Structure 1
Amino acid sequence: MGQLAQATAGQQLQPLNTMNDMHQLIASHRKQIESVMSGALTADRLYGLLQSAVSREPKLLQCTPESIVACCMKCSTLGLEPSSVDGLGKAYILPYGNKNLASGRPEATFILGYKGMLDLARRSGELKSITVTAAFDGDGIELMMGQDGEPWLTEMPINLDASHDPANLRFVFLCAKFTNGGSHAEYMTKSEIDAVRARSKAGNAGPWKTDYVAMAKKTIIRRAFPYLPIDTQAQKAAVADETTPTYSFLARPADSIEGE
């Protein structure tokens, strides 16, 4: 496949079939991409993130090129690299989006990970601590309700021999303490978590399938976000979770830059 066609207001980028096609995509739209990048990310670094994402999820090459680049750009803007890069499950780029009406190809989906949500929550500097606990059958963790209506966990010895199989999850519990002395605590039962999973586009694949407990923890963090002293960027990231970020910047004409 030759040099990728330039995207204009009424056109789609050519489909990708190989990582070489991906490299050409970055090269031919380098100016638009660099104009919206933040921090230390470069076009070459973006290509590295794309390589890592595709090596983890080869089906991404079936998605629209615009959506793949946009998801990687979202990761870079938030400073959360795809999980195949850092192994911490901070963010995922998955081929489980809506069909693009013009091309009929799927669009890549941006999904925040559990540790990515924690990272975003802590950036405001107004959280003294935030912990998320997963309780399983037989582990000795019990949930109590205080007179003020705020839940709390009993301080009991934990049974380390209890099975932490996702099927044995009972609930997840979040406790956040603020630097001003305030706090917020809440819990979600497994049935509530499964209801959220059922509404997810990637509910039967990706991290929901491979890292269920981590996604359960992420779910309660996202639910608690409106009650936490976090910055606007974190709030927007929570809203953008499990969507295809905008890629309108790729529709602007730009000078072609040949790939290396």
Structure 2
Amino acid sequence: MGTLATTAQNNELAPMTTESDIHALVRSKRAQIEAVMSNALDPQLLYSILQTAMAREPKLLQCTPESIISCCLKCAVLGLKPSSVDGLGKAYILPYGNKNYQTGQMEATFILGYKGMLDLARRTGEIKTLNATPVFEDDGIKLFMDETGQPYIKAGEVNLNANHDPSKLQFVFLNAEFTNGGHYRTYMTRAEIDAVRARSKAGDKGPWKSDYVAMARKTVVRRAFPYLPVSTEAQSAAVSDETTPHYDFLNRNTKPVNTTTPVETIKEPTQ
């Protein structure tokens, strides 16, 4: 029997060390987990994400069980599978972050990917197009301001040999066209993007290291969220990006009030 199965009687969570411990955690806390899930959300998806993420990211075993469950629940509620599960880069659950002040263990961190940000933004159906264009030094693309102070870009001669190495990124330009005819445009320079990266827990690792341009594009989309017609779930996801989701619900003995509204019905993935 796994460590968690042994300690479950005392409503305590111990570090996970084996796959059997993962199953024991799910069994011992199933009621609390399902209590905070919408009726429209299939619990099996959460458990599938949990098992696959743990199998493909073994270092998560070094994190607190509560933080892992909460990150997986965040993915399930948003309908975004972590990249370790589907490889699409819509979201990440990574084994780093602040150490738990009680256990000293690291906590899993939830990180939205660029594609995940676009997915969330487009779900309302009020955005006609949404693009975050990375512009590199020798792309021949210039940034201008119109008479209203709105930025726009204009391409010059196309350079088919342009160097798109991440180190050559100049800025990222965002253009959002709404279905009602409105629009929103903004941009962030390389220096502004790197300042955000420097403040990030994942600044020198994870997707910032492996997918810098995608994270730069996501940073611009995230900054634009307050000005886009997106759902409250999307806004909340953007605010809680690169954090450990709140997991106090796991230690409650009574059924909590369900305040989670999924953005769409999620079906169990086909095996």
Fold equivalence (TM over 0.5): yes
- Structure 1 match to 2:160: 160
**Contact 1:81–1:91 under 8 Å retained in 2:** yes
**Structure 1 length normalisation: TM-score?**
0.91
Does 2:10 align with 1:5?
no
Query: What residue is the counterpart of 2:264 in the other structure?
Result: none
CA contact (8 A) 1:90 1:117 kept: yes
Q: Which amino acid aligns with 1:191?
A: A
Contact conserved, 1:16 with 1:61, CA < 8 A, in 2? yes
Q: What secondary structure sits across from 1:92 in the alignment?
A: strand
Aligned residue for 1:5, secondary structure, equals helix
- Structure 1: how far apart are the matches of 2:246 and 2:82? 18
Deviations 1:80-99 (A, max 9, x none): 11012222211101112111
Q: Does 1:41 align with 2:42?
A: yes
State the Cα deviation string for residues 126-166 of structure 1 (Å, max 9, x = none): 11111110011212222111121111110435323212111
Residue of structure 2 equivalent to 1:67: 67
Shift in Å at residue 192 of structure 1? 0.6
Q: Which runs of 4+ in 1 moved over 3 A?
A: 155-158
Mapping 1:17-166, distance limit 5 Å? 17-38=17-38, 39-43=40-44, 45-166=45-166
Question: Is residue 117–residue 222 contact of structure 2 (8 Å, CA) maintained in 1?
Answer: yes
2:229 corresponds to: 229
Write out per-residue CA displacement over residues 159-182 of structure 1, whole angstroms, 9 at most, x where no aligned residue. 232121111111101000111111
Give the percent of matched residue pairs that are identical in Structure 1 and Structure 2.
62
Aligned to 1:257: none
Whether 1:174 and 2:174 are equivalent positions in the alignment is: yes
Shifted more, 56-65 versus 75-84: the winner is 56-65
Give the partner amino acid of 1:196. V
User: Residue by residue, what CA displacement relative to the aligned partner does 1:196-232 show, whole Å, maximum 9, x if unpaired?
Assistant: 0000011111100100000000000011011111111
Q: Give yes or no for the alignment of 1:183 onto 2:189.
A: no
Query: Structure 1 residues 212, 24: closer, same or farther in 2, change over 3 A?
Result: same
Structure-1 residue corresponding to 2:259: none
* Counterpart in the other structure of 2:269: none
- The reply to whether residue 202 of structure 1 matches residue 208 of structure 2 is no
TM-score (norm. length: structure 2): 0.87
Q: 1:12 offset after TM fit, Å?
A: 4.3
Q: Structure 2 regions of 5+ residues with no counterpart?
A: 255-271
Secondary structure of 1:174's partner? strand
Q: How many residues align?
A: 251
Q: Secondary structure at the match of 1:154?
A: strand
Contact 2:140 2:155 in 1 (8 A): no
Classify 1:29/1:223 alpha carbon distance in 2 versus 1 (closer, same or farther; 3 Å). Answer: same
RMSD: 1.7
SS of the residue aligned with 1:219? helix
Amino acid at match of 1:41: D
**Deviation for aligned residue 1:111:** 0.6
Query: SS where residue 233 of structure 2 aligns?
Result: helix
Deviation at 1:47, TM superposition (A): 2.8
Q: Give the AA of the match of 2:25.
A: L
How big is the shift at 1:41? 2.7
Whole-Å Cα distance in 1 between the matches of residues 230 and 119 of structure 2? 11
Would the alpha carbon gap of residues 246 and 173 (structure 1) be closer, same or farther in structure 2, given more than 3 Å must change? same
Contact residue 56 and residue 85 of structure 2 kept, 8 A? no
Name the amino acid aligned to 1:172: V
In 1, Cα distance between equivalents of 2:148 and 2:191 = 25
CA contact (8 A) 2:109 2:242 kept: yes
Stretches of structure 1 that go unaligned for 5 or more consecutive residues are: 255-260
Contact 1:32 1:250 in 2 (8 A): yes
Q: By how many angstroms is 1:185 displaced?
A: 0.5
